């Protein structure tokens, strides 16, 4: 950026002793000749009650333009596309087309496309979005144990936990990428693979074979790898829980319309709720599930592969 305008900030007092502040960390040499290099420097002239800031042409090499953390983070190329037809209270509002990153996150992309296509006998079809947030919308996924077991077999695991474990591994790899900044940027589609707010296990006394033993009681349930989110804006708050598997290539107007649905007011800042959540009170879990839930039924009426 070249700036030929000289800016002066003063307090009606003429500066007397100039002080050169160069880009280098070393102090200026008073015996050196004035710098004839047109490269930028900032020159400050001080007195006891005044400040003169003079900006000279050309930028300082150490003040080169910075790029955002996501500038070098190119999106992977989608390897396949799927569609989601959406309705609100039975009224169709349009279609969302998602491009999946089959090369970058093969496990996550395969899991999402399998459910969308219904190739294993289960599908997102006729299932609801359960949370509408300012930055994203969240689908409730599938709750059936049989569904999870079947999908686990497809990924080579013996249980739903094994299948979700593979998604968590991909999430960990995604977090370690050199690309800094938000992973869940606007238009992203991701699978919820973990709950960073899950309370730690509580110790409890149980009877086994006539003896009392201490055992851990899990507080809440881990995600089963079928819930997903679609972001309308950058959502760094999702980076600790969501594996990005694709992006919306068409239909963001549909996502925006979903985001306008009225929802149940959130009350997570209440001290009573926070204490109940901390100690693992089940009533807090039930209440939390209701926060930001849409009053209208936002449903995937149809879904499948494209091409």
pLDDT digits (tens, 9 = 90+) for 126-160: 999 999 999 999 999 998 644 444 454 444 444 55
Comparison of pLDDT for 218 and 66, the residue scoring more: 218
Per the structure, the complete domain to which residue 96 belongs is given by 80-264+294-306
Comparison of pLDDT for 145 and 171, the residue scoring more: 171
DSSP string, 252-283: HHHHHHHHTS-BPPP-TT-HHHHHHHHTT-HH
In a domain, 188, yes or no: yes
Question: Tell me, what's the pLDDT at 157?
Answer: 44
In a domain, 35, yes or no: no
Task: Say how far apart CA 122 and CA 274 lie, in whole Å.
Answer: 36
Q: How many residues does the chain have?
A: 307
Number of domains in the chain: 1
Question: What would the mean pLDDT of 80-89 be, rounded to a whole number?
Answer: 98
Half-sphere exposure of 202 (CA within 13 A, CB side): 12
In a domain, 74, yes or no: no
Could you tell me the CATH number of the domain that includes residue 166? 2.40.100.10
In a domain, 195, yes or no: yes
- Per-residue pLDDT band for 6 (boundaries 50, 70, 90) equals very low
| 75-89, 209-223, 270-284: segment of lowest average pLDDT | 209-223
Question: Tell me, what's the pLDDT at 62?
Answer: 36
Comparison of pLDDT for 47 and 173, the residue scoring more: 173
In a domain, 215, yes or no: yes
In a domain, 63, yes or no: no
Give 18's strand partners: 45
In a domain, 153, yes or no: yes
Closest CA to 82 of 230, 241, 194: 230
Closest CA to 167 of 230, 98, 232, 222: 222
Comparison of pLDDT for 279 and 115, the residue scoring more: 115
Task: Say how far apart CA 149 and CA 158 lie, in whole Å.
Answer: 8
Number of neighbouring beta carbons within 10 Å of residue 98:
28
Question: What would the mean pLDDT of 239-263 be, rounded to a whole number?
Answer: 97
Give 20's strand partners: 43
DSSP string, 127-194: PBEEEE-SSEEEE-----HHHHHHHHHHTT-SSHHHHHHHHHHHHHHHHTSS--S-SS-TTEEEEE--
Going from the C-alpha of 211 to that of each of 38, 114, 202, the distances in angstroms are 84, 46, 19
Under 8 Å CB-to-CB from 40, ≥6 apart: which residues?
3, 55, 56, 57, 58, 59, 60, 63
Question: What would the mean pLDDT of 45-67 be, rounded to a whole number?
Answer: 38
Task: Say how far apart CA 105 and CA 170 lie, in whole Å.
Answer: 7
In a domain, 221, yes or no: yes
- Token duo for residue 224: 């089963």
Say whether pLDDT at 243 is over 70: yes
């Amino acid at each position: 950026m070249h700036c030929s305008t000289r800016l002066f900030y003063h307090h009606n007092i003429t500066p007397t002793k100039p002080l050169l502040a160069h880009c280098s960390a070393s102090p200026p040499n008073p015996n050196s000749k004035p710098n004839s290099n047109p490269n930028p420097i900032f020159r400050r002239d001080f007195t006891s009650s005044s400040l003169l800031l003079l900006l000279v042409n050309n930028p300082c090499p150490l003040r080169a333009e910075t790029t955002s953390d996501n500038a070098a983070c190119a999106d992977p190329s989608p390897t396949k596309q799927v569609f989601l037809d959406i309705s609100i209270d039975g009224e169709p509002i349009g279609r969302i087309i998602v491009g999946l990153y089959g090369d970058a996150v093969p496990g996550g992309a395969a899991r999402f496309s399998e459910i969308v296509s219904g190739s294993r006998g289960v599908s997102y079809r006729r299932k609801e979005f359960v949370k509408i947030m300012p930055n994203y919308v969240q689908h409730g996924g599938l709750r059936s144990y049989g569904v999870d077991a079947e999908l686990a077999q497809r990924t080579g695991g013996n249980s739903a936990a094994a299948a979700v474990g593979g998604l968590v591994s991909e999430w960990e790899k995604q977090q370690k990428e050199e690309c800094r900044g938000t992973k869940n940027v606007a238009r992203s589609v991701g699978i919820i693979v973990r709950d960073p707010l899950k309370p730690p296990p509580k110790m409890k006394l149980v009877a086994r074979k006539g003896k009392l033993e201490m055992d851990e009681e899990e507080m809440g349930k881990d995600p089963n790898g079928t819930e997903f989110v679609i972001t309308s804006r950058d959502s760094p708050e999702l980076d600790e829980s969501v594996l990005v598997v694709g992006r919306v290539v068409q239909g963001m107007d549909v996502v925006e319309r979903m985001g306008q649905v009225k929802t149940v007011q959130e009350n997570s800042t209440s001290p009573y709720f926070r204490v109940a959540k901390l100690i693992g009170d089940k009533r807090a879990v039930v209440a939390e599930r209701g926060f930001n839930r849409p009053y209208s039924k936002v449903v995937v009426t149809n879904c499948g592969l494209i091409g």
